[in-house]
Amino acid sequence: MVQEVEAAGTEISTSTPMSAPSGQILAKWYHTCNPDGHIERLCLLVNNQYPGPTIHASWGDILKVTVVTQMQDNGTSLHFHGLRQLGSNAMDGTNGITECPLAPGESKTYTFQATQHGSSWYHSHYSAQYGDGVMGAIVIDGPATANYDIDFGSFIVNEWYYQTAFQINFIVNARLQLLPTGDLPASGPPASDNILINGTNKNTQGSGKYGKTIMEQGKRYRLRIINTAVDNALRVSLDGHPFEVVSADFVPIKPFVTDTLLLNIGQRYDVVITANQTIGNYWFRATVDEACRAFNHGKGLSIFSYAGANSSDPTTTGPTFSSCNDEVVVPWWPMTVPSSSFSSQAQDLAVDVQQPGVGTNGASVVAWNINMTAQDVSWETPVLSYVYNHTTKYPVTENLLSIPNEDTWVYWIIQETASSAVPIPHPIHLHGHDFYVLGTGQGQWNSSSPMNFETSPRRDSAILPGGGYLVIAFLADNPGAWLMHCHIAWHISEGLGVTFLESASTIPPAAAGAECTNNKGKPDEQ
């Protein structure tokens, strides 16, 4: 089946059922929103709603998503988080990598196949823009590894700021510049003001409203929990109802039961709950995990009620927690990662904060970097345009790493350096691939660090521990230019990303998108 999704302002349209009426998505500056009742502020709304409508498809569908931007002051793009874009790299929606941003009034149709199933989200890949509203859930139907009666659909959790994401991004960058001066103590990002669950909550003064979900006693329900935050790792739980976890990101897993789950930015878990408690009202909680250096003034709460319960707020209590570690999950179909070539092929990626004088383009700035270079992409000349123009004169600031041969295993040791001025956890996300988590831990990785090649967790987003390491592997089976980055919006804005140029000689030929035709520059011919 072909799903046509049209996104205006951002506008989106689709021929497969979608939560949005008539399948339109409209994102536009100078709308306002007030999801927790505290204050109206400027927002980028999708179909005048927050979050945006859910894109609903079936495993194997071809999706056609037409984006028509009506934003007065911003460029934009649309990225379909976790979708591999197998054979469709130009549809990845990554500014400066696969395309130019769409200027106001421009449009683009993204066409790709849903080669995975499960739960995810779409979002703008233009700076911190999705923090102001250009995002929504994706549900791709397929088999599950546990039985359930009813699919409750997506449960988006994210923090909310009373200033815009662009304002917060400016504050964070200004604070970062204080790191090496010694004049004033540098501080981290401002704490967010509240946590939303499916776009609503009460604020700390009690206005706003809680979301409410009705359960029938004896039934089993599937919840698709998605962290779409810009800065906060979130712990989720449902008082009195353990989660049977059946999927991590887009990967079906061997089910396990837990009272609480940590979702770092971009991560998703599909869980099944059993409505087997006393008829009443129960809190669903989304709470910042301060062990992940996440801070918030509010509490993410939503109500789950049994049919027949009264309308009072719950009085239930939640679990305790104190760690910032990904769950150890086992894929339903585990795959052995070849280990024989690890020692010869593994490469290091050192993560740190730059020092003055070695900033991007020679500027004396402090920025997050990988291997002492902060990524600074050129939006008017995306990496794919170099490929299409048969030139390899990529700017150093693209942070480009070449993987020349298709169908080879590649291994990366991502290490936050011991000297890092800000040793905090980073949610690492890779486009175009699932990766295998071979090892992770605190301190410096070495040859005696524990590794798992037999039943490695497979996902597209994983935590690099603060002051620690993350070792990943993936099969280079998807030619294209793919971004790997920290999904904390401020960190990728400050340069914490690299581009993998994979099998450039076999990337399908294509013209640079129409969105680039009015740009002033193009790569030098070689």
pLDDT in tens, 120-136: 999 999 989 999 999 99
For residue 190, the 8-state DSSP code is P
What pLDDT, on the 0 to 100 scale, is given for residue 275? Answer: 98
What pLDDT, on the 0 to 100 scale, is given for residue 359? Answer: 63
When pLDDT is cut at 50, 70 and 90, the band that residue 18 belongs to is very low
What pLDDT, on the 0 to 100 scale, is given for residue 182? Answer: 59
Beta bridge partners of 26: 8
- On the question of pLDDT at 28 being above 90, the answer is no
Least confident segment among 67-81, 118-132, 225-239: 67-81
268-273 average pLDDT score:
98
When pLDDT is cut at 50, 70 and 90, the band that residue 87 belongs to is very high
Q: In terms of Cα–Cα distance, which of 23, 222, 247 is closest to 136?
A: 23
Asked if residue 5 lies in contact with residue 13, where contact means CB atoms within 8 angstroms, the answer is yes
Same domain, 136 and 262: no
Same domain, 235 and 133: no
Distance CA 53, CA 47 (A): 7
Same domain, 472 and 368: yes
* Domain assignment present for 520: no
Instruction: Tell me the Ramachandran region of residue 199: left when phi exceeds 0, alpha when psi lies from -120 to 50, beta otherwise.
Output: left
The tens digit of pLDDT for each residue in 450-492 reads 999 999 999 999 999 999 999 999 999 999 999 999 999 999 9
What residues have CB less than 8 Å from 259, skipping those under 6 apart? 237, 242, 243, 319
* Domain assignment present for 190: yes
Same domain, 135 and 180: no
What pLDDT, on the 0 to 100 scale, is given for residue 183? Answer: 60
What residues have CB less than 8 Å from 489, skipping those under 6 apart? 127, 128, 130, 131, 165, 169, 230, 231
Q: For the chain, what is the domain count?
A: 3
205-234 average pLDDT score:
97
Least confident segment among 70-79, 190-199, 431-440: 70-79
289-297 average pLDDT score:
91
Distance CA 354, CA 494 (A): 10
| Alpha carbons within 13 A on the beta-carbon side of 483 | 29
State the CATH number of the domain containing residue 398: 2.60.40.420
348-360 average pLDDT score:
77
Predicted TM-score (pTM) of this structure: 0.93
The tens digit of pLDDT for each residue in 370-387 reads 988 889 888 889 999 999
Distance CA 48, CA 29 (A): 11
What are the backbone angles phi and psi of residue 398, rounded to the nearest 5°?
-75, -15
Same domain, 162 and 267: yes
Same domain, 208 and 98: no
* Domain assignment present for 71: yes
What pLDDT, on the 0 to 100 scale, is given for residue 471? Answer: 98
Other C-beta atoms lying within 10 Å of the C-beta of residue 108: 23
Same domain, 129 and 163: no
Tokens 């123009």 — which residue?
389
At 4, list the tokens: 């046509």
* Domain assignment present for 9: no
Q: Hey, what amino acid is at 84?
A: R
* Helix or strand (DSSP H, E) at 166: helix 165-176
Distance CA 327, CA 463 (A): 10
Q: Return the SS3 of 55.
A: strand
Q: Return the SS3 of 468.
A: strand
* Helix or strand (DSSP H, E) at 387: helix 383-388
Distance CA 5, CA 21 (A): 11
Other C-beta atoms lying within 10 Å of the C-beta of residue 363: 12
CA-based end-to-end distance of the chain: 42
* Domain assignment present for 151: no
28-50 average pLDDT score:
84
**How would you class 379 by CB atoms within 10 Å of its CB: exposed for 0-12, middle for 13-18, buried for 19 or more?**
middle
Same domain, 348 and 492: yes
What are the backbone angles phi and psi of residue 504, rounded to the nearest 5°?
-55, -35
Q: Hey, what amino acid is at 428?
A: I
62-81 average pLDDT score:
88
Distance CA 160, CA 168 (A): 11
Q: Return the SS3 of 129.
A: helix
The tens digit of pLDDT for each residue in 409-448 reads 999 999 999 888 888 999 999 999 999 999 999 999 999 9
Same domain, 116 and 177: no
Q: Hey, what amino acid is at 94?
A: T
What pLDDT, on the 0 to 100 scale, is given for residue 358? Answer: 59
- On the question of pLDDT at 3 being above 50, the answer is no
Same domain, 117 and 192: no
Same domain, 395 and 360: yes
Same domain, 89 and 237: no
What are the backbone angles phi and psi of residue 267, rounded to the nearest 5°?
-85, 155
The tens digit of pLDDT for each residue in 159-172 reads 999 999 999 999 99
Asked if residue 6 lies in contact with residue 23, where contact means CB atoms within 8 angstroms, the answer is yes
* Domain assignment present for 2: no
* Domain assignment present for 487: yes
DSSP letters along 297-360, please? Answer: SS-EEEEEEETT--SSPP----------------BSS--PPP-TTHHHH-EEEEEEEPPTTSSG
Instruction: Name the percent of the chain lying above pLDDT 70.
Output: 89
What pLDDT, on the 0 to 100 scale, is given for residue 476? Answer: 95
- On the question of pLDDT at 29 being above 70, the answer is no
Instruction: Name the percent of the chain lying above pLDDT 90.
Output: 69
* Domain assignment present for 169: yes
Q: Which domain holds residue 250?
A: 157-306
Q: Mean pLDDT of all residues in the chain? A: 88
Q: Hey, what amino acid is at 344?
A: S
